Amino acid sequence: METQYRSSFAATSGVRSAVPRVVAFRWLAAFLVVCVYLLATLGSWVRINNDGMSCPTWPNCSANSLLTLHGFPFLESLHRLIAGPIVGPLTLVVLALAWINRRELPQAARAAWAVIGFLVLQIALGGVTIFASNDPPSVTAHWTVGMLLLGSIIAVAVLAWGPTAFEQSERRHAVAATPWLWLVALAALVTTAMGAYVSSSGFGLTCAGFPSCNGHWFGLAWPQGAQMTHRALAYAVLLTALLALVATLRGERGDLRAVALIAALLVVVQIGLGVANVLGRLPTPLREAHAANAALLYATYVVLLVRAAFLPQARAVRT
């Protein structure tokens, strides 16, 4: 009995000593999610404002400077400044904390390996887009990997805010909505990648009408076909989002229902912004809002998916 008491006391003392670094990990991971989301949004605004080649060299904006505070290259150089000296080091700190807290939060530590892979690939693609003169394939790849990087960082943050290994209670089976959440997250990723391709290719107004493309449903050439493919994918997101919402509302996880409702609302807003962009002939503010909401929509479904698939407890317990 005394031996068991000492063992329990030692375990409790160890958990208490880990609290400061676990808390630091959680808040820094959440802050990193916000930074990466803002970075991705700023990157899309660079593309929308045709600033992608305003800094013709890499990694610096000019031969002697990373940041240009005046003139046309400001938006692109600011994007690089946030990506390099700010997001890069912060990501390394979060990855280090994930490793340090691997005993307390093993799932978050495992998810951090995906962050490493996507981070290296994203940095490389940032240079490729410059050397490729921001051609549509390189821009699309850069945006898509950026979304995957954002999703992996969100996974780390969500798992970091879950219960520690010491706090794990009796586990439940994953919720029934999980397969639908996988589908809608994947559909959102593919749709936003296609949107990046359409935007960087200048195909945004190849179909001036809605819902058809100048009276046709499939387009008469690839530019129109690309635009209609993007629209078809948006409808797929709406359908899978509604199915995921129904499955979530019928489930037992009350902590997922409000988020599922917000995510479905973001899908409706996104389609509305897309229609407004076409009918309004692509005004810059609406294009920027469309891109920002696309990333937010995808991020919200990643949060839902990670909680449903990897944190099936009824409620996360805080340290």
The secondary structure of residue 213, as a DSSP letter, is B
Across 22-35, average pLDDT:
96
HSE value, Cβ hemisphere, 13 Å, CA-based, for 178: 13
Higher-confidence residue of 216 and 89: namely 89
Backbone angles phi, psi at 216, to 5 degrees: -115, 150
| Residues 6+ away with beta carbon under 8 Å from 26 | 157, 160, 161
Please provide the DSSP assignment of 143-173 as one string: HHHHHHHHHHHHHHHHHHTS--GGG-----P
Q: Which of 133, 25, 129 is nearest to 83 (CA)?
A: 129
Q: Which of 79, 158, 58, 73 is nearest to 115 (CA)?
A: 158
Packing angle of the helix pair 178-201, 2-48 (nearest 10 deg): 30
Asked if pLDDT for residue 305 goes beyond 80, the answer is yes
- 217-230 residue pLDDT tens: 887 889 999 999 99
The pLDDT, as a whole number, for residue 83 is: 76
From the centroid of its chain, how far is CA 193?
A: 12
| Residues 6+ away with beta carbon under 8 Å from 84 | 59, 66
Q: List, in order of start, the domains of the chain with CATH numbers.
A: 1-168 (1.20.120), 171-319 (no CATH)
- 253-283 residue pLDDT tens: 888 999 999 999 999 999 999 999 999 988 9
Asked if pLDDT for residue 20 goes beyond 60, the answer is yes
Sign of the alpha-carbon torsion through 185, 186, 190, 193: positive
The pLDDT, as a whole number, for residue 52 is: 54
Alpha-carbon dihedral angle through residues 298, 301, 306, 308, given to the nearest 10 degrees = -170
Backbone angles phi, psi at 213, to 5 degrees: -105, 90
Min mean pLDDT across 3-7, 35-39, 92-96, 166-170 is at 3-7
Across 159-168, average pLDDT:
85
The secondary structure of residue 101, as a DSSP letter, is T
- 3-class DSSP assignment, residue 205: coil
pLDDT tier, 5 (very low <50, low <70, confident <90, very high otherwise): very low
- 178-203 residue pLDDT tens: 999 999 999 999 999 999 999 989 89
From the centroid of its chain, how far is CA 244?
A: 19
Q: Which residue has the tokens 């660079």?
A: 46
The pLDDT, as a whole number, for residue 173 is: 61
Higher-confidence residue of 233 and 130: namely 233
Higher-confidence residue of 272 and 173: namely 272
Reduced DSSP (H G I as helix, E B as strand, rest coil) percent helix, strand, coil of the chain, to 5: 75, 0, 25
Tokens of 92: 């390394």
- 37-92 residue pLDDT tens: 988 888 888 778 766 555 555 555 555 554 544 444 566 667 777 777 788 899 99
Average pLDDT over all residues of the chain = 84
The residue ranges of DSSP E strands in the chain, in sequence order, are none
CA distance 301 to 256: 11
For the chain, state the CA radius of gyration: 22
